[in-house]
Structure 1
């Protein structure tokens, strides 16, 4: 079992100079400075990625979710058109090699605007563009085209009929690049009206992609299954030769004893690790304190 954290190293991001992979800019700045500035930021982000990976190895952390912001405004250009493309490609290749040599599992979790279930063609097209960028990014690091290096999303919408929505997901899945299709996973939601693990089995049975079980989300959208049964069901969807991934977080409202906070909101830290019921999994801890939340458990 490996514990991981997502995207930002809190300690390194506070260093001077700061070490981060999510340098970005507002749209106005992008329109003014163009791909030259986007390339500069992408190179700085790529350069810092290996520094974060080195810190992780030094601190015995072998699981990390990469930020989706390494390439600012990437949907507005082709990555290979960046002036620094060759240098960026070399840097990312070094990151991928370092990860493989040190047994680091790298994943991504594109944002909620990625909606393969949408009935809106423009939304779906934008989703395909963004997911394909993630696939290209992972290919630049020469990561495995498998769910070992997963690209994980939610359905992000019901539109009145879950089955019709999931059918659209499956149809639109076929239009993704192979670099995405080979890595894509889908995760259960934290609203009762959305998708439980039990619901997502419909997608798995149609196109075979694995389900990522989120413990915290399951509390709000169980589909009538116990935590143990939902975990076991999601676990069963993964290929036998790839260790499944689960997500774990705790409620900020409970931690702070404040019922004005949404119970779904994630706490800064965790008090314990989840019961894996005998399943061998890698655990992505989605706490606001990032690496600081998992260091006591390493």
Structure 2
């Protein structure tokens, strides 16, 4: 069993390298028409440049797994802005894509919690489609559609899970097929548990990302060993191995919040469970300390008897 590790958005330790610099609509509204476009382009250029720096950091540290920031483009989906963020940066998107392809990086996006398909309000679904289109356009501009993924949650329950899941299936039909092909679903820490998410993924033929921390926080049933093979099987129809999200609780009182680092004792039961399946998979670290948390966890896992470290960010067990 081989496991590769990655992290989300920012490489801590790189000076002034945030790929998520923003421009609020309030600030945007106060600018002149010319200044507005200049500001949008300036911030986007910074975010793309910082993303390239982070990718080169990943290459230097043999990190094959990376989640792009969803905030690369300010106000990209705001109804009063909706600007062309592809054409002015055609070369930059292609350069990022070339890095991804040349070094065979596995990249993804994770839109925010408002990108959901269970709402009774049509405008929420319309906005969800727009947000998925935004992320899809970035992957396409980078020519990273072969393996690039967009991960979301099912959404809210609105007092009736059965009706809400039915609505999910209905509303998802409004998402263009070519975008749905790059979509994954993840179990929640409060609402839709592993079983409910898995069944939804199987019905829609969508790969499922297991979030182990969410599972521990929202564990109605304790049958993860029963579901894990089926979760991994949802990846059979896509050109990639399964992916798992890992983090640790901040505290018992703030159990759902992510800690700075990942505690080995917290995730070891899952790793031992996965080992029984002898299935290669990738782990996305969602700790607050980003790449630093990833490096520490890889060090700790590599020290386990029987585990062989095969690169800076991958192990074989």
1:74 and 2:76 matched: yes
1:112 and 2:104 matched: no
Which residues of 2 match residues 163-174 of structure 1 at below 5 A? 163-174=162-173
Q: How far apart are the structure 1 equivalents of 2:59 and 2:177?
A: 30
Which residues of 2 match residues 142-161 of structure 1 at below 5 A? 142-145=143-146, 148-161=147-160
Q: Deviations over 1:83-106 (max 9, x none)?
A: xx4441211111111111111111
CA distance 1:124–1:91, change in 2 (3 Å): same
Find the counterpart in structure 1 of residue 12 from structure 2: 10
Residue aligned with 1:72, SS = coil
Find the counterpart in structure 1 of residue 304 from structure 2: none
Which residues of 2 match residues 166-245 of structure 1 at below 5 A? 166-191=165-190, 194-239=191-236, 241-245=239-243
Find the counterpart in structure 1 of residue 254 from structure 2: 262
Residue aligned with 2:257, SS = coil
Q: How far apart are the structure 2 equivalents of 1:179 and 1:111?
A: 21
Q: How far apart are the structure 2 equivalents of 1:234 and 1:202?
A: 9
Q: How far apart are the structure 1 equivalents of 2:263 and 2:199?
A: 34
**Aligned pair partner of 2:244 in 246, 268, 276:** 246
Find the counterpart in structure 2 of residue 28 from structure 1: 26
The farther-off stretch of 48-57 and 231-240 is 231-240
After the TM superposition, list the runs of 4 or more consecutive aligned residues in structure 1 that deviate by more than 6 angstroms.
none
Equivalent residues, number = 281
Shift in Å at residue 283 of structure 1? 0.2
Higher-RCO chain (CA-CA 8 Å, sequence separation at least 6):
2
Q: How far apart are the structure 2 equivalents of 1:52 and 1:168?
A: 39
Shift in Å at residue 43 of structure 1? 1.5
Residue aligned with 2:218, SS = coil
Structure 2: 5+ residue stretches without partners: 299-312
**Aligned pair partner of 1:38 in 37, 40, 45:** 40
Instruction: Confirm or deny: 8 A CA contact 1:188 1:200 kept in the other structure.
Output: yes
Instruction: Confirm or deny: 8 A CA contact 2:6 2:66 kept in the other structure.
Output: yes
CA distance 1:144–1:284, change in 2 (3 Å): same
Provide TM-score, normalisation by structure 1.
0.88
Q: How far apart are the structure 1 equivalents of 2:123 and 2:229?
A: 36
Find the counterpart in structure 1 of residue 49 from structure 2: 47
Shift in Å at residue 29 of structure 1? 0.9
Shift in Å at residue 51 of structure 1? 1.0
RMSD (CA atoms): 1.7
Find the counterpart in structure 2 of residue 293 from structure 1: 293
Provide TM-score, normalisation by structure 2.
0.83
Q: How far apart are the structure 2 equivalents of 1:227 and 1:269?
A: 24
Instruction: Confirm or deny: 8 A CA contact 1:212 1:245 kept in the other structure.
Output: yes
Residue aligned with 2:288, SS = coil
Instruction: Confirm or deny: 8 A CA contact 1:132 1:179 kept in the other structure.
Output: no
Structure 1: 5+ residue stretches without partners: 254-258
CA distance 1:271–1:225, change in 2 (3 Å): closer
The farther-off stretch of 49-58 and 29-38 is 29-38
Shift in Å at residue 243 of structure 1? 0.3
Shift in Å at residue 223 of structure 1? 4.0
